[in-house]
Structure 1
């Protein structure tokens, strides 16, 4: 059966539209129970089990109940975790030896959206062939199992995950003396992150910790960091940390209120590993990673490769290269030697290890990497077929690359959802970068609309 529902990051959409309905979730729970329940391993007292966690958006209650009913009807036991960060579900799935973990979340999207993400028994994303099997099973008639599953609530899930996060740092690691502002986006980290950083000794001011089901990611969190930037300055804090709604992304703010993105954070972690932890064997970024990041790693002889945009592709290349560090400029950072997926809290702690071990303020540490100007233009076209291979477009790109020499790059990337080609140019001179991007865009527009 052709893939209809699953994208690179699970199933996601507006609640009540398309696949995101209670009826679909009921059928999805049944299909997942039938497919995943047959997989080896994952026993609880001799029974098959799957865990369900969610973020704080109001529709999560409805979808949790629907998935639970479908899974139980398929004869699978269900462990209910309640509101928990996405990486916590990955960790707890491994801890409880469950067949799979299910996350009900739309990540950084507004509360009107929701979605589903699956983790395997190993805490990684499900292979494509398993998702295909689940989609095929959606067409099965729902029959009541002769051996219905049961549900149980895991009351200590939060405490388990807090200890896991703290254990990602060395014994005796302390944040004493650091004044930190946390923005939890009124999302899944609201009851987790403040405890982690306080228990490690930091003085913590927490914002975005009053979820009401409707305010997740609302003018707060990693997608809207202005509130955090203001709070850091008002509090006179050493730094600020922003998570997204499901806790798998993180961005920082330095004491000056300046935002620090995922590329800069990855560089700090890589630099720390090289100097203090015996070396960094390589880092995976994406096509959109800043060229300054690549140059800074090159200067330190740390290998760097780019993957397609999306944490799935980053992780695939990390595994292929045997590297333990990768991520995206959005702040989705994967430290594979600490956990199996992107984890905002764990990644933040790795950055703070660098701050503590280098004994430098965050704004000084980030200055070791110079971000290059980047300019992007979205070119809307009548058609995209053959545009990127057209001789005029190739000539425009080659001319721009010649002008940039080895101090910049050009990237043309089709949108996955719209009739657009994104033209991106990076280089040391912002005026030149903007001019070259405009020149290429003009050619692309002419070719694509002719």
Structure 2
């Protein structure tokens, strides 16, 4: 039944040995194709896929279903980073959208379908809801012709043109690149070497490790990259998730650099070294560090609910320099209004080249200027019934004290967020796609942060005294 398929903040995903079936892929592709054909009959739709087993087969099936609606479908002739599909759509005036079959940053046994609309972005919440409503209980038999196209090469050429190739070439950079077995493999090393960077790639071919890795550029999944950086004596380790729309990094000492610090560094680089300006859009779970940096750069910032879709909606209003979320997904709407992990890798290399500093030195400089904080997230796996009770209760929860601290602000924008006088904060947010309550906290010290995380976990379990 159609009510079995529910979209998260970035499309639909499911286990390959369960709900991710040919039948359900046909139903999802049919719904999107019908909507596109209704609004833009005869338009072009781009289809891509990542490196996961079966992704190419499902993408070809989805492409033929969409083509059955009379649309011109261009299927990537090889695995492709999600941002390359966004770029192709955004730079083709005849394109009305696209889809990518990808497991993204989820465990190896998952696959999913991400959608993109005519500007290359993920589209509004209303678009996702329209596709959901249009899903038919029965899979269609209609199929149409498709053409295969190289959408990778033009995209990579465009990326190279966005950075100072001479500055990078003269810097003599040496980096480790970790695609986490995903769609950035081979492509990122090729363009970095084209720019004169020495690159050691890990996890660039499938082996037994692919089954055990969650391709999300956060700890503990970056451990191999940390070790490789030290072993190679590299200036940094640069990481993309499974479909390469997110970025992570490791400094020259093998220390993980979280997404908040990367966002802050790239934002500063765009303003100071590229002369850019504009508003900055951040997710509700973003660090106070990024807000301090935005203020110092005279960039007005806007806070949105968790999920890049909400950042995209703000980008559509215009005047946005950069948008980002805590998980390493950053976008520059001048490029296209979506995340691009490959572009962020190039910008970090350009930043190191222009300043002559290692990634660790840049982070230390950032913390000296804006203060060091400790940030963490806990995922509490609870029974669905408990989560629904919490979701119902959250709008009415407003305690006078949390972990012995008095909140100065309480927000129910997306879950429950407490802010305190010293800019520390706590956020509880039930996931919309899995039986998990996410608890985020940030404070000046690890001890204070953990006190807040403990208190937030108590609230989530209904144990707040």
Please give the TM-score of this superposition, normalised by the length of structure 1. 0.86
Q: Find 2:421's aligned residue among 389, 395, 405.
A: 405
Cα distance change on mapping 1:298 and 1:236 into 2, 3 Å: same
1:50 maps onto 2:45 in alignment: yes
Superposition deviation, residue 248 in structure 1? 0.3
Displacement of 1:333 in angstroms is 0.9
Per the alignment, do residues 263 and 243 of structure 1 end up closer, same or farther by CA in structure 2, a change over 3 Å counting? same
Equivalent in 150, 154, 157 of residue 163 of structure 1 = 157
Distance 1:157 1:90, change over 3 A: same
**Residues 14, 278 of structure 1: CA spacing in aligned structure 2 closer, same or farther, 3 A cutoff?**
same
User: Is 2:191 aligned against 1:190?
Assistant: no
Q: Is the 8 A contact 1:181 1:232 kept in 2?
A: yes
CA distance in 2, matches of 1:143, 1:285: 40
On the 8 A contact 1:56/1:213 being kept in 2, the answer is no
Tell me by how many angstroms 1:257 deviates.
0.9
Q: Which runs of 5+ in 2 are unaligned?
A: 409-418
Find the residue that maps to 1:24 and give its secondary structure. helix
In the TM superposition, what is the alpha-carbon distance from 1:193 to its structure 2 partner? 0.8
SS across alignment from 1:401: coil
| Bigger CA radius of gyration | 1
Corresponding residue to 1:432 among 448, 457, 461: 448
Aligned counterparts of 2:197 and 2:75: Cα–Cα separation in 1: 31
Partner of 1:332: 329
Which has the larger displacement, 81-90 or 203-212?
Answer: 203-212
Partner Cα distance (2:214, 2:141) in 1: 44
Deviation at 1:228, TM superposition (A): 0.9
Match in the other structure for 1:44: none
Aligned to 2:309, the other structure's residue is in SS state helix
Task: Say which SS state the counterpart of residue 431 (structure 1) adopts.
Answer: helix
Superposition deviation, residue 365 in structure 1: 0.9
Instruction: Name the CA shift for 1:205/1:132 in 2 (closer, same or farther; >3 Å).
Output: same
Question: Compared with structure 1, are the counterparts of its residues 400 and 102 closer, same or farther at alpha carbon in structure 2 (3 Å cutoff)?
Answer: same
Q: Residues 71, 319 of structure 1: CA spacing in aligned structure 2 closer, same or farther, 3 A cutoff?
A: closer
Give 3-state SS (helix, strand or coil) of 1:399's partner.
coil
5+ residue gaps, structure 1:
42-46
**TM-score, with structure 2 as normaliser:** 0.83
Instruction: Kindly report which structure 2 residues correspond to 1:219-258, keeping only aligned pairs within 5 A, or say none.
Output: 222-223=217-218, 224-258=221-255
> Structure 1: how far apart are the matches of 2:209 and 2:69?
32
Q: Which piece of structure 1 moves more, 250-259 or 72-81?
A: 72-81
Contact 1:217 1:245 in 2 (8 A): no
How has the CA–CA distance of structure 1 residues 39 and 191 changed in structure 2, closer, same or farther, with 3 Å as cutoff?
farther
TM-aligned CA distance change 1:50 to 1:136, over 3 Å: same
C-alpha distance in 1 between matches for 2:266 and 2:128: 33
Q: Is the 8 A contact 2:173 2:235 kept in 1?
A: yes
**Maintained 8 Å contact 2:427/2:456:** no
Q: Does 1:309 align with 2:306?
A: yes
Residue of structure 1 equivalent to 2:342: 345
Residue 90 (str. 1) matches residue 86 (str. 2):
yes
Answer whether contact 1:73 1:143 (CA < 8 A) is retained.
Answer: no
Could you tell me how far 1:446 is from its partner in structure 2? Answer: 5.1
- Aligned-CA RMSD value: 3.2
Cα gap change, 1:252 to 1:294, in 2 (>3 Å):
same
Structure 1 residue 108, shift from structure 2 partner? 0.9
In structure 1, distance between residues paired with 2:98 and 2:344: 21
**Change in 2 beyond 3 A, CA 1:78/1:395:** same
Equivalent residue for 1:69, pick from 64, 69, 93: 64
Q: Deviations over 1:17-38 (max 9, x none)?
A: 23x2101222333333332123
1:336–1:397 CA distance, 2 compared to 1 (3 A): farther
The whole-number CA distance in structure 2 between the counterparts of 1:214 and 1:423 is 29
Displacement over 6 Å in runs of 4+? 140-145
Shift, 1:329, TM fit: 2.4
- Of 393, 404, 415, the residue aligned with 1:386 is 393
CA displacement at 1:120 relative to structure 2: 1.6
Give the match for residue 372 of structure 1.
373
